[in-house]
Chain A
Amino acid sequence: MQEHSMKKDNILGYLTDIETMGLVDGPGMRLVLFLAGCPLRCLYCHNPETWELKNYTQTVTSDDVLKLYRQFGMYYGESGGVTFSGGEPLSQSQFVLECAKLLKEHKIHTALDTSGASCGDFDELLDYIDLVILDIKAVDEDEYIKICGKTPENFNKFLSLCQKKNKKLWLRQVIVPNINDDIPHIQKLANYIKNIKNVEKVELLPYHSMAKSKYEKLNIPYRLQSTPDMDKQKCSELEKILRQSIK
């Protein structure tokens, strides 16, 4: 796809991967673009290869994205679409904006899978996004800093913007043993979510250590060496509790 990048007006997107049968990042079956670059360094991140922009494996233009969608759109049924994930897609917001505009022109559903933790003006972008899948790293500020290495300032701004613009939201949190896998945490999260409107779905994702080998390859120290994988059963029980508490 390199040759398309030579076109003048199109902004380039820097990707680490493309998933053509994405089933977990948004409704239905979707084209998922993993964008390179992220301002956060979360303890449990399972995509460390997406941290640095320079780790991209391919560049695409918005036209390429539409073309890709057409190559697989027939499998996506009525509910599918395109999800911008990463990395942090907001760190390439101009590219995402151009893609989302084009996709909306063609009536294709767009989702943004984000931590909301980038700095910038995303007002126009959200006009072209149908669904925001927002990762709530932590409710408590200290804990947020402990997990992500940054204050939740940008996250808070982004969430407010979503609320102001009445964006549909899917909220997520990664559950890690000994960090946030206890009932008080879940209750706190529930109370927090209760004050958010347009929430269509909440999901708790169990932490797993499968990314360890990626860290080794990249020569990055793995900070959760001694943390076991989150028990899937327990995680789904916590999810049940969460869902009941926010009803």
Chain B
Amino acid sequence: MENDVKQWQGFKGDDWKENIDVSSFIDQNYTEYKGDENFLAPISKKTSLVWDRCKELLKEETKKGGCLDVETNILSGITAFKPGYIDKDNEVIVGLQTDAPLKRIVNMYGGTKIALKALEAHGYKLNPEVQKHFVTYRKTHNDGVFDAYTPIIRRARKNGLLTGLPDGYGRGRIIGDYRRIALYGIDRLILEKQKDLQDDFLDEDNLEENIRLREEVSEQIRALNQIKEMAKSYGYDISNPAQNAKEAIQWSYFGYLAGAKENNGAATSMGRDATFFDIYIERDLKNGTLTESQAQELIDQFVIKLRLIRHLRTPEYDELFAGDPTWVTESLAGMLNDEHSLVTKSSFRFLHTLENLDPSAEPNLTVLWSKNLPIGFKKYASKISIRTDSIQYEGDDVMRPLYGHDYAISCCVSSMKEGKQMQFFGARCNLAKSLLYAINGGYDELSGALVIDGFDKINSEVLDYDTVRKSYSKMLQKIAKIYVDANNIIHYMHDKYAYEASQMALHDTHVERLMAFGIAGFSCAVDSLSAIKYAKVKPIYNDQNIAIGFNVDGEFPKYGNDDKRVDDLAVELVQEFFNYLNSHKLYKNAHATLSLLTITSNVMYGLKTGSTPDGRKAGEAFAPGANPMHGRDCSGALRSLNSVAKIPFENCCQDGVSNTFSIIPSALGHDEKEQITNLVNILDGYFVQGAQHINVNVLNRELLIDAMNNPYKYPNLTIRVSGYAVNFNKLDRAHQEEVIARTFHEKR
């Protein structure tokens, strides 16, 4: 390879020039920043104008019921749409999903029915010609999945045991290493991919895999060419490496944008870019070709673009993932090694967008926290958290040993090595309902249908812990198999009918795959086990001998109070379920991972689950993610955090343990200065125990109640829910009420 590329002037190191290796480039060229936020620049004139226009559009979008416009004549694709602008003269970073801001794309590859339903829900109709041709000639992911689904998967799905499976929409969660385009230019990336097609003969031991890989790499090359073409329509030639900060951000964004045009995955995360961009910004600042104000302008405008990403969704989807989230997750900070952090001035600039451009749910700004991060950055992040409730934190000290220092968070809590790992998103399995199935012999407590056969009803007057626990183990083992089968089918079909060519093109060809399973109803299941073990639980049976309610006599320890008796049950449960999942063969030799993360689907899952032995009534919401049940973690914030911190990450819940933590401002300290110090201490104390994730909200319950009743007073009220932030006004009433019912830690 030529090593004297002019765009690389002043950059150190050679290995990253020989091989595609963004991480090594960053290590050798970034400038750690240990100071405070005083260098930051306010919003620029241009950005102000662009953002003002966006605010008008966002208001209009809200007024129109949440969807401003849909492109009904053209289907999704990297080069399908003409260039679009917000305010062309003032945009320093360009590129929209379609030819106009907030105009949504119809993506039919996941499933025709769902796409058409989403259109209809928003009052649109697809161009009949386009619809006719697509439906006649093209099979979808959804069609494929249902061709292969087994009878028991269908029953599990129908009864709410497995919900939210990506079998009718894009699976998402894949992060391309978009920085590669900036560092190497598209042409070099194409060249590297072509090398992977040079074998003259097929490997007969892995025939199918071999053929499929060749087809996929060819699709990737096609996608790379299309990204180049799309960029050209905006007037940029991205064949070569970026030569300055503006180009580096623009080239990377084109890569991301291609993915958001081509796919409609639930989560389309951005990656880990701040420190990479900072290298270019520092070079330009030194050269005198960029000022601090311009640097901030680039980041602000890039972030504006990420705030406008939209996908067309059905009402059913919104019930699961409320508030129109896109999870454009951007991971910030983290450590390089034990001594040096990856904090740069641009890590601050990204957080500063929440001040320059109002609080916002997207991009999902994620701080990779370590006890060794520079104190200036810790304090600034805490300050922005207290002011905006828009940041989430994840434990770098537990993830870095497993993923190296160049991983990024996808969606909410899923870590993967940038460009080297991808994920098969597997939604969630309802473990509270599974427990009811263990009690009810596999019959669904709401529909009365037999879902899982081969089990006896327990049918005793008082539930005996050992009997129930044994049956639960057997049930979980069987459910794990069903759950694995469903995901193997889904991802086989997704690759076949809705392959994410542009995103996978920005990965190594031989990529490591993770299959991310998930649990819903975690704390409800744990407290139910505790109730059966430590109190007297008497089921109320209906005439079918199905337990439809429970009387609980006596006290039992509840998860969320740092009480070993019940927290041990929690740890045992996740380890057991993970082991069952991990014992199966997974599609494309993926590794199993597991998350405690529900997004807002805890409301939906609760709705579809009957009364549980912990005293929760039928239909009531579960707690989100790994959270203790609402109001039950009543012995203080730190005890609640300690319970969650016990959930094992490594080799168990390695896809993430989501905790949403709300504290009222006065419980965090007298004034902002004290609150900042205390929040830093809380985060240090939580993560040092090996915890993985926390959403922080510093607000009063009364404020949310007021916002629920008077939404117009709080147009920008952003809160963290479960792994993402959301504009409170975009939640429906049921979700708002669930958020308000959560534990707010107060002074005791």
CB distance from B438 to the nearest CB of A (A): 33
The smallest beta-carbon distance between A184 and chain B, in angstroms, is 27
Residue contact A75 to B686, C-beta cutoff 8 Å: yes
Identify which of A17, A20, A76 contacts B681 (C-beta below 8 A).
A76
- Max chain B CB contacts within 10 Å: which of A19, A20, A74, A80? A74
Q: Is A29 a contact partner of B678 (Cβ separation < 8 A)?
A: yes
B639: min CB distance to chain A, Å:
6
Given A71-B562, A75-B686, answer yes or no on A19-B681 (Cβ-Cβ < 8 Å). no
Report the separation of the CA atoms of residues A17 and B748 in the bound assembly, to the nearest whole angstrom. Answer: 10
A230 interface contact, C-beta 8 A: no
Q: Which of A21, A74, A77, A80 sits near B637, CB closer than 8 Å?
A: A21
Q: Which applies to chain B's interface (DSSP): helix, strand, loop or mixed?
A: helix
For B562, give the chain A residue with the smallest CB separation: A71
Segment among B5-13, B122-130, B390-398, B662-670 that sits at the interface with chain A = B662-670
* A6 within 8 Å of B (CB atoms): no
A-B contact count (CB 8 A): 53
User: Across the two chains, which residue of chain A brings its CB closest to B635?
Assistant: A20
Inter-subunit contact A71/B642 (CB<8 Å):
yes
Q: Are A74 and B684 in contact (CB under 8 A)?
A: yes
Give the chain B neighbours of A21 by CB distance below 8 A.
636-638, 667, 745
Tell me which residues across on chain B come within 8 A of A23, comparing CB atoms.
667-670, 674, 678, 747
Chain A residues, CB < 8 A from B667? 21, 23
CA–CA, A217 to B677, complex, Å? 37
B636 touches A75 (CB 8 A): no
In the complex, whether B680 has a CB less than 8 A from a CB of chain A is yes
Picked from B635, B682, B747, the residue with its CB within 8 Å of the CB of A75 is B682
When distances are taken between beta carbons in the complex, the residues of chain B under 8 Å from A79 are 677
- Closest chain B residue to A17, Cβ basis: B748
Count of interface residues, chain B, beta-carbon cutoff 8 Å: 26
- Report B96 CB to chain A, min CB distance, Å: 45
Q: Does A39 contact B (CB under 8 A)?
A: no
* Docked CA distance A21–B562 (Å): 14
In Å, the complex CA distance between A232 and B745 comes to 22
Q: With contacts A72-B685, A75-B685, A75-B686 known, is A20 near B677, CB below 8 A? A: no
Closest CB pairs A-B (n = 7): A75-B685, A77-B681, A74-B685, A20-B636, A20-B638, A74-B688, A21-B638
| Residue of B642, B677, B681, B682 with most partner-chain A CB within 10 A | B681
Asked whether any CB of chain A lies closer than 8 Å to the CB of B651, the reply is no
Q: Which of A63-88 contact B (CB under 8 A)?
A: 71-72, 74-77, 79-80
State in angstroms the CA–CA spacing of A74 and B684 once bound together: 7
Q: Is B689 part of the contact surface with A, judged by Cβ < 8 Å? A: yes
Q: How far is the CB of B265 from chain A (nearest CB, A)?
A: 37
A79 to B680: give the CA distance in the assembly, Å: 12
Bitwise, A8-27 to B at CB < 8 A (1) or not (0) is 00000000010111011000
> Which of B639, B678, B680, B689 is the one whose CB lies under 8 Å from A74?
B689
Those of B675-711 within 8 Å (CB) of chain A? 677-678, 680-682, 684-686, 688-689
Establish whether residues B638 and A75, one from each chain, have CB atoms under 8 Å apart when the complex forms: yes
Give complex CA distance A77, B686 in Å.
12
Say whether A24 contacts B636, CB under 8 Å. Answer: no
Q: Does A28 interact with chain B (Cβ within 8 Å)?
A: yes
A28 to B681, CA, bound (A): 9
Q: How far is the CB of A196 from chain B (nearest CB, A)?
A: 23
CB distance from B661 to the nearest CB of A (A): 12
Q: How far is the CA of A117 from the CA of B748 in the complex (A)?
A: 25
B680's nearest neighbour on chain A, judged by CB, is: A77
20 contacts between A and B (CB under 8 A): A17-B748, A20-B635, A20-B637, A20-B639, A21-B667, A21-B745, A23-B668, A23-B670, A23-B747, A29-B681, A29-B682, A71-B562, A72-B642, A72-B685, A74-B684, A74-B685, A75-B682, A76-B685, A77-B680, A77-B685
The complex places the Cα of A74 from the Cα of B670 at a distance, in Å, of 21
Complex CA–CA separation, A79 to B670 (angstroms): 16
A18 to chain B minimum Cβ distance, whole angstroms, is 8
Q: How far is the CA of A77 from the CA of B685 in the complex (A)?
A: 8
Which residues of the partner chain B approach A20 to less than 8 Å between Cβ atoms? 635-639
- Chain B residue numbers with a CB within 8 Å of A24 are 670, 747
Interface string of B624-657 (1 = CB under 8 A from A): 0000000000011111011000000000000000
In the bound complex, how far is the Cα of B677 from the Cα of A76, in angstroms? 10
User: CA A76 – CA B685 in complex, angstroms?
Assistant: 7
Q: Output the least CB separation between B619 and chain A (Å).
A: 33
A79–B686 Cα distance when bound, in Å, is 17
Once the chains are docked, how many angstroms separate the CA of A130 from the CA of B264?
A: 60
Judging by beta carbons under 8 Å apart, are A75 and B681 in contact?
yes
Note all chain A residues with C-beta closer than 8 A to B638: 20-21, 72, 75
User: How long is the Cα–Cα vector from A21 to B670 in the complex, in angstroms?
Assistant: 14
CA distance A75 to B681 in the complex (A): 5
- Closest Cβ of chain A to B687, distance in Å, is 9
Complex CA–CA separation, A76 to B669 (angstroms): 13
Closest-CB distance, A8 to chain B (whole angstroms): 26
Chain B residue contacts of A28, Cβ below 8 A = 677-678, 681
Interface residues of B in 41-67 (CB under 8 A from A): none
In angstroms, Cα B106 to Cα A157, docked, is: 81
Q: How many angstroms from the CA of A20 to the CA of B562 in the assembled complex?
A: 12
Q: How far is the CA of A28 from the CA of B745 in the complex (A)?
A: 18
**8 A Cβ contacts from A81-134 to B:** none
| Distance of B662 from chain A, by nearest CB (Å) | 14
Q: Chain A residues near B639 (CB, 8 Å)?
A: 20
Q: Which residues of A contact B680 (CB under 8 A)?
A: 77
A23 to B562, CA, bound (A): 20
Residues of B within 8 A of A19 (CB): 636, 748
A75 to B76, CA, bound (A): 49
- Bound-state Cα–Cα, A180 to B601, Å: 54
* Docked CA distance A77–B674 (Å): 13
In the complex, which residue of chain B has the Cβ closest to the Cβ of A23?
B669
**CB-CB < 8 A to A76: which residues of B?**
681, 685
Contact of A80 with B681 in the complex, beta carbons under 8 Å: yes
Q: A17-B748, A23-B667, A75-B641 are in contact. List 20 more A-B contacts (CB 8 A).
A: A20-B635, A21-B638, A21-B667, A21-B745, A23-B668, A24-B747, A29-B678, A29-B681, A29-B682, A74-B684, A74-B689, A75-B638, A75-B681, A75-B682, A75-B685, A76-B681, A76-B685, A77-B681, A77-B685, A80-B681
